[in-house]
Structure 1
């Protein structure tokens, strides 16, 4: 049974009310898990209460602060934030924190930036060790949504994870970002699927609900699960239709 996680930054957000009520709407709509981005702009007490009330799981949230890990000068500030993010993740029961590399810095070589990113992740692994929380670095497409981002290649992300060589550090594989960059899932993940801690899904064009575009999402997810992935799939898309029935239809298009 696959676990689908509603990204409540975009899903179940139709009504103007508290962010925590999106958890309740997801539960009423038949979802068993949610995820969201930043935690520093949320009422954590209200989120914890809604999660306890509904029994929903949190699959992931963002490790803050969201600053460039390609800049060694940011390392200490990010590590302090990571420590706080781990505490929040443990409180909410989230097994995965998500990080992004940051923009390609002008005047810095890729080698220098990659070295800074790798060393920062190694230091982060020391903080994560024994916590029960892991960190996934997410490559992003640079053609539409994140022009100028440093890390747009799944293969390069996996190479960096191999350089870090710590079980606490892996990647988030976003099928949408990967497809926009013309990657084939089975090629880029190949024999390194064990480094994937979390998966995101959206269709293209538009980054809308699965089934609305041309990405072979069901096929790609079938391959991922058939080859041993056992984590959650985050429904991180911009909905064109509101309501739980639309979310259920999106899940059905992915194979249920």
Structure 2
């Protein structure tokens, strides 16, 4: 049986609620994992208390600061932030930190930006070594949600990870973003499933609940697991069916 992780930035979110209370809602829905984005704007003590009381685990969170890794001038600041992010991940028991490449920068060639990103990820691997935490750089769609983003291609993201060639570094594969870019999972992942440290899902159009759009999410997940993926599936979507019933329907649409 697959493990699903609720992104509580969107799932179980109610106006004016206490962020950590969403962990209770995820537990009541029968989930075993949650995830969120930034940690610097969260009450980590409250989150830690809820994790202990519910028994839920954190599957991933974002490595901060969120600044372009395509700009070599940001490297040292980002690496210092990564050290703090690793400490938070270890405190909360999260095995994955998520990094975004940043936007395509004017005045710099793609080769220059790719070299800066690659070298920064190599340095990140040294910080991560022995911590039990892996970093996933995330390709995003550049057609709807992240116009101007540097890394829109899953294949290019995997090529960069291959160039880094460290077990601490992989990709976050978001099936929604990939499908928006007209990518077929089998084609872009190929024999490199071991490089995928975390999955995200949402349907299209709308980036809503699985089962509400046209993406063959179940087929893609079936293929990834058949090829050896054994991690968690992050449910990172804007729910049109709120609460427990909506999550249950989404998981059922994916084959449970």
What's the TM-score once normalised by structure 1's chain length? 0.99
- 1:17 deviates by 1.8
- 1:14 deviates by 2.3
Q: Deviation digits for residues 54-83 of structure 1, max 9, x if unmatched? A: 000100000000000000000000000000
Match status 1:182 vs 2:185: no
Unaligned runs of 5+ in 2: none
Q: Deviation digits for residues 125-148 of structure 1, max 9, x if unmatched? A: 000000000000000000000000
* Structure 2 Cα separation of the partners of residues 201 and 142 of structure 1: 17
* Structure 1 Cα separation of the partners of residues 39 and 184 of structure 2: 32
3-state DSSP of counterpart to 1:6 = strand
3-state DSSP of counterpart to 1:172 = strand
Unaligned runs of 5+ in 1: none
3-state DSSP of counterpart to 1:59 = strand
Q: Give the CA RMSD over aligned residues.
A: 0.6
Q: Which residue number corresponds to residue 134 of structure 2?
A: 134
What's the TM-score once normalised by structure 2's chain length? 0.99
* Structure 1 Cα separation of the partners of residues 172 and 232 of structure 2: 11
Q: Which residue number corresponds to residue 243 of structure 1?
A: 243
- 1:114 deviates by 0.2
Instruction: Name segments (4+ residues, structure 1) moved above 3 Å.
Output: none
Q: Deviation digits for residues 212-237 of structure 1, max 9, x if unmatched? A: 00000000000000111000000000
- 1:28 deviates by 1.1
Q: Which residue number corresponds to residue 101 of structure 1?
A: 101
- 1:15 deviates by 4.7
Q: Deviation digits for residues 224-252 of structure 1, max 9, x if unmatched? A: 00111000000000001211011110011
Match status 1:54 vs 2:54: yes
Q: Which residue number corresponds to residue 118 of structure 1?
A: 118
3-state DSSP of counterpart to 2:41 = coil
Q: How many residues align?
A: 256
